[in-house]
């Protein structure tokens, strides 16, 4: 019985502490958002959309680099570069 009271007292204290922390966070959040008007919110939303598009475009490029088609193109380009470099070595050397 005594252990139960200590456990419950600790739980109540922990709950009180978490409530105080939550109130402080909400107060800080409200203070931070006090200067925002609808125009600023719209600007922020546009910026977020632009960043999302950029990330999507970059991910598409990176995923394309992993494709087998990209590997074949790289091998062809490397072979062409070697063929173009070989006559230049013969002429220069």
pLDDT at res. 1: 74
**Mean per-residue pLDDT for 13-39?**
93
Cα–Cα distances (Å) from 91 to 6, 17, 60, 82, 85, in that order, read: 92, 82, 42, 15, 10
Q: How confident is the model at residue 76 (pLDDT cuts 50, 70, 90)?
A: confident
Tally of CA atoms within 13 A in the half-sphere of 39 that contains its CB: 1
Residues 23, 65 share a domain: no
Alpha helix positions (H), the chain: 2-33, 38-65, 68-92
Residues 45, 9 share a domain: no
Domain count, the chain: 2
Residues 73, 43 share a domain: yes
User: d(Cα 50, Cα 74) in Å, to the nearest integer?
Assistant: 31
Domain that holds residue 55: 37-93
Please say if the pLDDT value at position 71 is more than 90. Answer: no
pLDDT at res. 73: 74
Residues 84, 55 share a domain: yes
Residues 45, 30 share a domain: no
pLDDT at res. 12: 97
Q: Which residues, at least 6 apart from 70, have a Cβ–Cβ distance to it below 8 Å?
A: 64
């Amino acid at each position: 019985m005594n252990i139960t009271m200590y456990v419950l007292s600790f739980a109540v204290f922990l709950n009180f502490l978490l409530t105080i922390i939550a109130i402080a966070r909400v107060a800080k959040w409200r203070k931070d958002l006090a200067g925002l008007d609808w125009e600023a919110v719209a600007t922020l939303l546009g910026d977020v959309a632009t960043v999302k598009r950029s990330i999507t475009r970059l991910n598409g490029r990176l995923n394309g680099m992993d494709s087998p088609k990209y590997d074949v193109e790289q091998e062809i380009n490397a072979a062409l570069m070697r063929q173009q470099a070989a006559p230049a070595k013969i002429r220069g050397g």
